[in-house]
Structures are given as structure tokens and as C-alpha cells.
Amino acid sequence: MPMVAVKQPYILFVVSDDTPQNPRTEQDNLGTMICFCSKYNLGDDHSFHDPDDFQMDLLEEKLGDTEEAEMKIEELTAEIDAALYRNQHGSYRKAVHDNIIQYLSSSFVIEGKSNLLFVCETPIDVMSHVSFAKLYGHDWRLDHRISLGCVSDGSLERYLQWHPEIKKIVFSLDNDYLAKDKDGCYRNWGQLAASKWCDKYSEKGYEIAVHRPHLNDFNQDLIETRKGRTTAELDAMREAELKTEFEKEAVDEPNQEAEIEEDIEP
């Protein structure tokens, strides 16, 4: 029986949908939902027996070797103090799983079909890059995308080994224009890494390009773009940040001529 709500001049009818769509099978999705539930049919179809089986598969894919994956599980399990979870086996297993997931989240992959790979630093950068592709009418499912979790290219090297069809690499790393090293000197770590890897992978025969965000990363670019800001306005925001930072740290140089005159006065 339908429910009815009336608020003049509107009438709202709420009725049951006898043929509802399943958004997981009838719509485009960014990834696959792997769920384990004994009571309900959740997520997408998969062949994993339990969470341990699923995490083992992810570790094998990340490390490229079953023995290394097994050793990594032992290492990550040993990091959890079992004494803290005495008589709480469920909580202990969850802590172990969370530790493995934290390690796995250091890299994130969207496999494509083309010969082009975009390389980002974090999963949120990958998802933002995908959003830009959709925003500008490109099919995001065609190209490969990977996040490294840092500015180390170990995950990239393994991914290229698994996908010999990739011939082009675009480094879409962060634009760390306000980052500093331990000595207080400005170091754009993301773009320094991009420059280094451009040399490294061009020597390996790949076609190389750099896609640099206007602000610190593509997630910040996406947030501001959705507010209606243009690329010129994003550049102006970056320049304003740099100007503010430089003015804050500016130090007036001493007037050397005045000091010299004082020294020679009788």
C-alpha cells in the first residue's frame, strides 16, 4: 500500500518498486565491492572464501610473488601485540586485517585497456584524476592509473612488468611548491621525482610526459574546479600562496654601506 504525504500544493506518493535496478550490475562502477556476509547478498560476485583469502590475493598482486606475500603477512601479523587482545580473537583478527589493509593502501590501481599509464601519488589523486577525465568527456576506463603511496617507484616497476602493453607513461605527481626539506629549503618533491623518473623510464623506451596539477594535487584542483574556478584562477591561487609564503619569510638585508661609514668615522 503506498504512503502519502500532503503539503499543499504538493502530494507525495511513496510506492514499492517491484523491479528495482541493481546499481552494481546495471550501472558503471569504479571498482569491485568484495563483501563477506552470511545473512545478506552484498557487493559484487567474487570467488574468495574469506577475508584472509582476499588479502592474500591482493598481497600476491602487489608483491608479485606468493612466498613474499606469505612472509609479508607474517611480518604484518607480528606487528600486532596479541597480548592486548587476549580472549578477544575477533578484535585481534580485525587489528591484523586493518594492518594489512594499511600496507596495501600504499598503492592503488585502476587497470585500463590502452597502452597509456597515469602515475599518481595517492589513491585520492587517482580518483580525482578519473573525475577530471569524466568531467572533460574522456572514457576513464580506457587508460591505466596507479598510485604509489609515496615517491618511490617500486610499485610502478612491478606494474609495468605485469603490463608489457603499456608504452606511454604520464607522471601526475603532486606539485609540492611549498614543501621544505629538513634544512628549511624549498623542495618540490613530487616534481623532482617526476623529473628523475622521466629520465629513468625514457631510457627504458617509454614515451614520457608530465601532468602537473595547478595547486598541490589533483584533489585540490578538483575541489576548486567544482566551485567554478578556471585554470587561470587556480594558477592565481598558487601564485598568491607563494607570494604570501615568501613575504612571510623575507628578511631585510643589512645596509652594508651605512655600516662601513660608521666604521671609518673618526
Q: What local confidence, expressed as pLDDT, does residue 38 receive?
A: 86
Q: What local confidence, expressed as pLDDT, does residue 132 receive?
A: 94
Q: What local confidence, expressed as pLDDT, does residue 134 receive?
A: 93
Whether 146 maps to a domain, the answer reads yes
How far is 246 from 161, CA to CA, in rounded Å? 43
Extract the C-alpha cell encoding 86. 587476549
Whether 25 maps to a domain, the answer reads no
Domain boundary among 64, 82, 104: 104
* Domains in the chain, number: 2
Cβ-contact 5, 17 below 8 angstroms? no
- Judgement on whether residues 100 and 143 belong to the same structural domain of the protein: no
Whether 242 maps to a domain, the answer reads yes
Nearest to 127 by CA among 104, 106, 147: 147
Whether 65 maps to a domain, the answer reads yes
Whether 96 maps to a domain, the answer reads yes
Whether 135 maps to a domain, the answer reads yes
Nearest to 108 by CA among 98, 118, 116: 118
Nearest to 195 by CA among 225, 173, 178: 173
Q: Which residues form the domain of 120? A: 108-248
- Judgement on whether residues 210 and 133 belong to the same structural domain of the protein: yes
Extract the C-alpha cell encoding 23. 546499481
- Judgement on whether residues 173 and 233 belong to the same structural domain of the protein: yes
- Judgement on whether residues 150 and 235 belong to the same structural domain of the protein: yes
Whether 198 maps to a domain, the answer reads yes
Domain boundary among 65, 83, 104: 104
- Judgement on whether residues 128 and 78 belong to the same structural domain of the protein: no
- Judgement on whether residues 115 and 75 belong to the same structural domain of the protein: no
- Judgement on whether residues 96 and 167 belong to the same structural domain of the protein: no
- Judgement on whether residues 155 and 122 belong to the same structural domain of the protein: yes
- Judgement on whether residues 158 and 199 belong to the same structural domain of the protein: yes
How far is 159 from 163, CA to CA, in rounded Å? 6
- Judgement on whether residues 115 and 244 belong to the same structural domain of the protein: yes
Which CATH number covers residue 141? 3.40.1360
Extract the C-alpha cell encoding 259. 655600516
Greatest Cα pair distance, the chain, in angstroms, is 106
Give 128-175 as a 3 state SS string.
HHHHHHHHCCCCCCCCEEEECCCCCCHHHHHHHHHCCCCCEEEECCCC
How far is 146 from 156, CA to CA, in rounded Å? 8
Whether 258 maps to a domain, the answer reads no
- Judgement on whether residues 217 and 151 belong to the same structural domain of the protein: yes
Per-residue pLDDT of the chain (266 residues; tens, 9 = 90+): 678 999 889 999 898 888 888 888 888 777 788 999 888 888 888 999 999 999 998 888 767 778 888 988 998 888 888 888 877 878 888 888 888 887 776 567 888 999 999 999 888 899 999 999 999 999 999 999 999 866 678 778 878 988 999 999 999 999 998 888 778 888 898 899 999 999 999 999 999 999 999 999 999 999 999 999 999 999 999 999 999 888 887 754 455 555 555 555 55
How far is 75 from 80, CA to CA, in rounded Å? 9
- Judgement on whether residues 51 and 149 belong to the same structural domain of the protein: no
How far is 151 from 109, CA to CA, in rounded Å? 16
